[in-house]
Amino acid sequence: MIEATNSENSVTGNVPVITVDGPSGSGKGTLCQKLADRLGWALLDSGALYRLVGYVANKKGITDQAGIAEQALNLDIEFINDPATGELLSILEGQDVTRDIRTETCGDLASRVAAIPEVRAALLKRQRAFRVTPGLIADGRDMGTVVFPAAPVKIFLEATAEERAKRRYNQLKEKGFDASLAKIFDEISERDERDLKRSSSPLAIAADALVIDSSKLSIDEVFERVLKAASQFI
């Protein structure tokens, strides 16, 4: 028998999924939100799951890998749409922690727990549960390679580290956070390195992915390219 944790669920197997993978700041978040809004599909922000696990482990002072994996498996997590802004809110044990998990510190904590194979295994089933009709937009690093390897449409979004740092800086400033461009560039480079080199599900381009370099494209141009690539499934 094939374990549900190791394979994409056959019951939801024909629900279409568009996977969007790529490094931090490549524009995945904005693109995925736009796709989910346009198509009326569910949205999986897998980075938020890793951020929530990193946040909780840090807050509760859990440092052993088994303990962190246990949190990943059983943590009370909910994502709801803010009716006022349409933004996806992250609710942890009943508390809205959307802002707390968006900081660069939490991004760093996320990339550390994301390197633990047991944490990735614990989150696999949770991530696959997001695949519901009429379809799913899955945002992450290993959506097309590990979590939804049979997805009919796979996108890999990239951009230069300089461009990604600039975007992250502007995003943080817009949200009212204090930010330093040089520091963000260093953090992004360090995180890239960790995501690319970890042994468990490293950031990689799926063989059947469409690679889009967003460095010189507007979000609308990227969006149109993805819609075109997905046209037979939407």
Note the residues at the interface with ligand C5P (CB under 6 A). 24, 46-47, 50-51, 107, 110-111, 114, 140-142, 191, 195
Report how far residue 107's alpha carbon sits from residue 15's, in angstroms, rounded to the nearest whole number.
30
Closest-by-Cβ residue to ligand C5P is 47
Query: Closest CB to ligand C5P among 20 and 230?
Result: 20
Query: Closest CB to ligand C5P among 41 and 55?
Result: 55
Smallest distance, ligand C5P to C-beta of residue 143, A: 6
Query: Closest CB to ligand C5P among 167 and 226?
Result: 167
Report how far residue 5's alpha carbon sits from residue 232's, in angstroms, rounded to the nearest whole number.
29
Query: Closest CB to ligand C5P among 90 and 231?
Result: 90
Smallest distance, ligand C5P to C-beta of residue 107, A: 5
Query: Closest CB to ligand C5P among 39 and 123?
Result: 123
Smallest distance, ligand C5P to C-beta of residue 51, A: 5
Place of tokens 């949200």: 175
Residue type, 18: I
Smallest distance, ligand C5P to C-beta of residue 232, A: 26
Smallest distance, ligand C5P to C-beta of residue 195, A: 5
